[in-house]
Amino acid sequence: MISKMIRRKKNPAWWQIGCSLVFVFLLGGCQTRLFIQPSPGGNKAEIFSRQPIEVQQGLASWYGGRWIGRLTANGEIYRVGDITAAHKKLPFNSRVRVVDLKTGNSIIVRINNRGPYVKGRIIDLSVAAAKKLGTYDRGIAKVQIEVLREIPLLQKPNLRALNPPKIPPSKPTVKK
């Protein structure tokens, strides 16, 4: 009987497999999950008024690097490809046209973060926005920002305008 117990201790394969499975399941429960959300305002058509609400001039910079994948001030995840920006005071989801005063290039960005916290700078562009604007290589650029007013699109079309009421044909009058 003692020899049978010794044999079980020498060959505990079932015990090792069971413990390792339990360990893997416990470890799997500690995994951090990344929920990918679509970027707000992705494929939605937008129309803006020609007259900006507010105009500012100053220096723009871009931010990325360690901020990629982290939460922005409005709760979104900062992604490399998003055309967004950080501003100290403008409301979140405001649309801003940023014009590079050196080249004349412009881009419309959405405010989703707070900053920049460097004296003299008025806006921090995302990496993708800085590349499209052409200021990525320079790092800092003199810009003009124009806060845009969105013109709401017609969500439910006026059915009367699309289908005018049918007027019954009138009887032709014969002139004598």
Q: Does residue 167 form part of some domain?
A: no
Query: Which tokens hold the place of 37?
Result: 């959300």
Q: What is the dihedral of CA 68, 73, 74, 77, to 10 degrees?
A: 10
Residue range 96-137, pLDDT digits in tens: 999 999 999 999 999 999 999 999 999 999 999 999 999 999
Residue 130, classed as helix, strand or coil, is helix
State the residue range of the domain holding 77: 54-151
Residue range 16-30, pLDDT digits in tens: 777 666 665 655 555
Alpha-helix residue ranges (DSSP H) falling in the chain = 2-10, 13-28, 127-133, 159-162
Q: Does residue 91 form part of some domain?
A: yes
Q: Does residue 90 form part of some domain?
A: yes
Q: Does residue 10 form part of some domain?
A: no
- Give the total number of structural domains in the chain: 1
Domain CATH for 77: 2.40.40.10
